[in-house]
Amino acid sequence: MTINAPAKLTVVTEGMPSPLRRRTTSIIVHVLLIGASILMLYPLLWLLAASFRPENEIFTSASIWPSSWSLDAYFRGWNGLRTGFGTFYLNSFIISGLSVIGNVLACSMAAFAFARLNFKYKNFWFAMMLMTLMLPYQVTLIPQYVLFRQLGWVNTFLPLVVPKFLAADGFFIFLMVQFFRGLPKELDEAAQMDGCSPWRIYWRIIIPLSMPVLATAAIFTFIWTWDDFFGPLIYLGEMRQYTVMLGLRTFTDSTGESDYGGLFAMSALSLVPIFLFFLFFQRLLIEGIATTGMKR
């Protein structure tokens, strides 16, 4: 006993770092993290700076502070293509807005059925829904294209929007099921006793209580639809229907080689809606990812 005691004591002091050592480690960690942050954000800040600096400076400067500020590139870029970026932004907002409405409605309905109702083969259909999460979209791509083509939907927004009203993105169903399951079961039971129909339970009880998850789904739908490049690339052939992403791509093909300022200005501008969501709803987005493990 007495022999053992001092040995144990030294172990304890070794295990617990002194305040000084702890502070030193903490400073090192902060230096590391700040360094990493700068490295991560440097390209973005450089893009922002490049969009404001005079054209001749873009390829000579690595700094993130322009020698002089001008909005010229934004005006040049905005009208740099045959169709102006105003049209592209309008198209992107229409497609993203409709997608948000469709996704939130259709996915919340499906999630309500999976989380709060009982019906035959429910577990089977739920498993099917989870399977679609793993499916690479390429497997359904070509028949879907043929189908939409036969319906005369190519060169319209419909192939980009209608699937959202059919709850095609199972990810949001999964996200909402997780949330709906967490709401107290007594709510439904009490409402059912009072003669509430499932529709009223959905619309009057579950939806109003689920605003955080609906907002998360809405924001992610908006961002992913805004960013979507592949869908518009194959379904939208005429420039007046282009989304912002297609506009940018066309810019790189045609004028991009000569007007880098305009290209960077439009690139930076296209990130602004996403950045605004990040600024105001980052808590919601980060919690959404942390709890369900979303892909992005």
Partner 1 sequence: MTVHSTIATPIEQAQRPSVWSRIWQNDAPGYLFLLPWFIGFFGLTIGPMITSFYLSFTNFDLLQAPQWVGASNYVRMFTADPKFSASMRVTLFFVIFSVPLKLAFALAVAMLLNRGIKGLPMYRALFYLPSLLGASVAIAILWRQIFAGDGLVNKLLALFGIIGPSWISNPNYSLWTLIILSIWQFGSPMIIFLAGLRQIPQDMYEAASLDGASKWRQFVKITLPLLTPVVFFNAIIQTIEAFKSFTPAFIISGGTGNPINSTLFYTLYLYQEAFGFFRMGYASALAWVLLALVGLFTAFSFLTSKYWVHYDD
Site for partner 1 in 43-62 (CB under 8 A): 43-44, 46-47, 59, 61-62
Instruction: Report in angstroms how near the CB of residue 61 gets to partner 1 at its nearest.
Output: 8
Which range binds partner 1 by CB under 8 A, 75-83, 92-100, 102-110, 183-191?
102-110
Which range binds partner 1 by CB under 8 A, 87-95, 184-192, 210-218, 260-268?
260-268
Q: Is residue 16 a contact point for partner 1 (CB under 8 A)?
A: yes
- The interface with partner 1 within residues 214-243 (CB under 8 A) comprises 223-224, 227, 229-230, 234
- The interface with partner 1 within residues 104-123 (CB under 8 A) comprises 105-106, 109-110, 112-114, 117-120, 122
What is the residue type of 2?
A: T
Please state, in angstroms and rounded to a whole number, the distance separating the CA atoms of residues 230 and 245.
Answer: 10
Which range binds partner 1 by CB under 8 A, 84-92, 181-189, 207-215, 275-283?
275-283
Kindly state the tokens that stand for 157: 């927004």
Q: Is residue 252 a contact point for partner 1 (CB under 8 A)?
A: yes
Cβ atoms of residues 129 and 176 within 8 Å: no
- The interface with partner 1 within residues 155-174 (CB under 8 A) comprises 163, 165-168, 173
Q: Is residue 99 a contact point for partner 1 (CB under 8 A)?
A: no
Q: Which is nearer to partner 1, 8 or 82 (CB)?
A: 8
* Residue linked to tokens 């577990």: 123
Q: Is residue 208 a contact point for partner 1 (CB under 8 A)?
A: no
Which range binds partner 1 by CB under 8 A, 27-35, 70-78, 178-186, 207-215?
27-35
Q: Which is nearer to partner 1, 44 or 211 (CB)?
A: 44
Which range binds partner 1 by CB under 8 A, 70-78, 80-88, 209-217, 269-277?
269-277
Compute how many residues bind partner 1; rule: CB under 8 A: 95
Q: Is residue 26 a contact point for partner 1 (CB under 8 A)?
A: yes
Q: Is residue 276 a contact point for partner 1 (CB under 8 A)?
A: no
HEC-encoded secondary structure of the chain? CCCHHHHHHHHHHHHCCCHHHHHHHHHHHHHHHHHHHHHHHHHHHHHHHHHHCCHHHCCCCCCCCCCCCCCHHHHHHHCCCCCCHHHHHHHHHHHHHHHHHHHHHHHHHHHHHHHHCCCCCHHHHHHHHHHHHHCCCHHHHHHHHHHHHHCCCCCCCHHHHHHHHCCCCHHHHHHHHHHHHHCCHHHHHHHHHCCCCHHHHHHHHHHHHCHHHHHHHHHHHHHHHHHCCHHHHHHCCCHHHCCHHHHHHHHHHCCCCCCHHHHHHHHHHHHHHHHHHHHHHHHHHHHHHHHHCCCC
Q: Is residue 129 a contact point for partner 1 (CB under 8 A)?
A: yes
- The interface with partner 1 within residues 77-96 (CB under 8 A) comprises none
